[in-house]
Structure 1
Amino acid sequence: MNPRKIVRKNRVIITIVCLVFGFMVSFSYHLTNSQKKKSNITSVQFTRDMALRDELIEQEEKNRKLQQELGKKQQQVLKIEKQLSNEAESFYHLAEDAEKYRMYLGKVKVKGQGVQVTLADADYKPSENTVNNYIVHEHHVFKVINELYISGASAVAINGQRLTRKSYILCNGPVIEVDGYQHPAPFVITAIGDPDTMAEALNIKDGVKDLLVNENVQFTLEKRDHLLMNAIYGS
């Protein structure tokens, strides 16, 4: 073989080998750089993920503590609300009692259902010696008033004059005095309360009505849907 051809052939082979080797080196370099960049990106992302995870854990711990504190506050609020509710209920009952006592004392106007009892002297005019047996006396009025209060009357009046816990009734000849004011017969006694209960109490057999009728007192009982008694002013 011609030595020149051999040399030329070897050069071609060496050239091809160098090209292949150069390509391999270049590819290896680019591959290494690419993997390094990926590794750097992965490392940064991992660091960021860990930081976010730690922050999330910290926030969850704060939220847990805040929820525990909120639970304690809610228990305190419920306790305070219960106390306020009990106090409000107590104040409500106190207000109710105060209103009731003012009503009993005659310090407020009161209206409602009730009864009207009229006590009148007998039609029969006896002799002068027995006339007292045929007129209405204070004890007759007392019996009616006591029975009305016992059967639940919240307010009572005689001829429109409202009674209080200090009221007194005196017999003065043909008239009676109520707290110093004179009233002639007939005596109209009005009472606010349950009309059925008060009527039954007065009409019971051998009760107040029968007793007064037997003592020659004209007794009339009426149920009323609307009664009004004004407040008492002054002492």
Structure 2
Amino acid sequence: MNKIKARMSIGVICMILGLVLALQFRSVQNNYLQGIGSAQKAQDLAVELKKVRREKEALKSEINSLEGKIKEIEEAEAKEDVLVRNIRNELEKYKIISGFKRVKGPGVVVVIDDPPVDPQFPTDVSIIMYNYDLLLSLINKLNDAGAEAISINEQRVVSQTEINLAGSNVNINSVPTAPPFIVKAIGNPDTLASTLNIRFGIVEQMRSERYNLRVTVERKNEILIPRYNEVIKFRYAQPVEEEGQ
């Protein structure tokens, strides 16, 4: 808005300058055409010309001043744009870190399911649900391997995520879920997969005779992980100012 006002002011000043010069030129032309060429008239014209020149210089000075102000406004707006852009980038980064932003990237997809049902000894008991602590161990291993975002059955895993058994379901972010559990993790696919498949690691433990779970680990070039949909409220934690700030 200030930039527009400044440009309008320059335009008005230029119009006034042109009008003054045009009137003076017409006055001089008319006087000569009427045959007025006395010494007194010439002296008056010289005085008037000096006056016009002074006004012209004053207008030029005003134009230069306004142009300087426009430049200052443009520079200030440019700095403000950079500041806003930096703040927006920082906000996006912290949204990703906190889980409040849907993200995509390379990584691994881990599918965990119960053992095949034995027709001779059918049972409704879910091995993985009653051993959901294996899911927690899997998440810890992925974090250790540098996973940047994790989800279980489309529930984003953040610092506030709870995984616990509730009746016949495993609640994740208070949402009831059941096998198969599909775990997605964004990070270096080779590093994530190697960490999970290491000898005596979490995948081998799940596949052992004790649990006999069906587990697959697949590398992916692109994985889409949803955002965290709950609202995190802090009732007790308060920010602490750093020294020197």
Q: TM-score range by the shorter chain?
A: 0.5 to 0.7
Matched, 1:118 2:106: no
Matched, 1:70 2:58: no
Matched, 1:93 2:86: yes
Contiguous gaps of at least 5 residues in structure 1: 1-40, 126-130
Change in 2 beyond 3 A, CA 1:56/1:152: farther
Q: Judge conservation of contact 1:115–1:223 (CA < 8 Å) in 2.
A: yes
SS at match of 1:165: coil
**Alignment RMSD, CA only?**
3.9
Matched, 1:199 2:193: no
Q: Judge conservation of contact 2:137–2:202 (CA < 8 Å) in 1.
A: yes
Determine which of 52, 60, 76 is the counterpart of 1:59: 52
For 1:142, the equivalent position in structure 2 comes to: 139
For residues 157-214 of structure 1, the C-alpha deviation after alignment (integer angstroms, 9 at most, x for no partner) is: 10111223311335789975433445444431124x5xxx52032145xx34313344
Instruction: Report the Cα offset of residue 75 of structure 1.
Output: 2.1
* CA–CA separation in structure 2 for the residues paired with 1:112 and 1:69: 56
Contiguous gaps of at least 5 residues in structure 2: 1-34, 118-126, 208-214, 233-245
SS at match of 1:215: helix
For residues 128-181 of structure 1, the C-alpha deviation after alignment (integer angstroms, 9 at most, x for no partner) is: xxx99xx77134322344147x3543xx31011122331133578997543344
Q: Judge conservation of contact 1:152–1:198 (CA < 8 Å) in 2.
A: no
Matched, 1:50 2:43: yes
Instruction: Report the Cα offset of residue 55 of structure 1.
Output: 2.1
Q: Judge conservation of contact 2:163–2:170 (CA < 8 Å) in 1.
A: yes
For residues 31-71 of structure 1, the C-alpha deviation after alignment (integer angstroms, 9 at most, x for no partner) is: xxxxxxxxxx7861x43333333322222222222222322
Change in 2 beyond 3 A, CA 1:42/1:98: closer
Q: Judge conservation of contact 2:107–2:221 (CA < 8 Å) in 1.
A: yes
* CA–CA separation in structure 2 for the residues paired with 1:226 and 1:215: 26
For 1:5, the equivalent position in structure 2 comes to: none
Q: Which residue identity lines up with residue 229 of structure 2 in the other structure?
A: I
SS at match of 2:161: coil
After TM superposition, the score normalised by the length of structure 1 is: 0.56
Pairs aligned (count): 177
Q: How does 1:1-235 map to 2 (within 5 A)?
A: 44=38, 46-107=39-100, 110=102, 112-120=104-112, 137-147=134-144, 150-153=146-149, 156-170=150-164, 177-191=171-185, 193=186, 197-204=187-194, 207-210=195-198, 211-217=201-207, 218-223=215-220, 225=222, 227=224, 229=226, 232-234=229-231
SS at match of 1:157: strand
For residues 106-139 of structure 1, the C-alpha deviation after alignment (integer angstroms, 9 at most, x for no partner) is: 445x2544434214368699xxxxx99xx77134
* CA–CA separation in structure 2 for the residues paired with 1:119 and 1:189: 6
* CA–CA separation in structure 1 for the residues paired with 2:116 and 2:37: 125
Query: For structure 1, which segment, 115-124 or 76-85, has the greater mean C-alpha deviation from structure 2 after superposition?
Result: 115-124
Task: Judging by fraction of residues, say which structure has more helix.
Answer: 1
SS at match of 1:232: coil
* CA–CA separation in structure 2 for the residues paired with 1:151 and 1:228: 12
Instruction: Report the Cα offset of residue 86 of structure 1.
Output: 1.6
Q: Judge conservation of contact 1:111–1:229 (CA < 8 Å) in 2.
A: yes
Change in 2 beyond 3 A, CA 1:230/1:142: closer
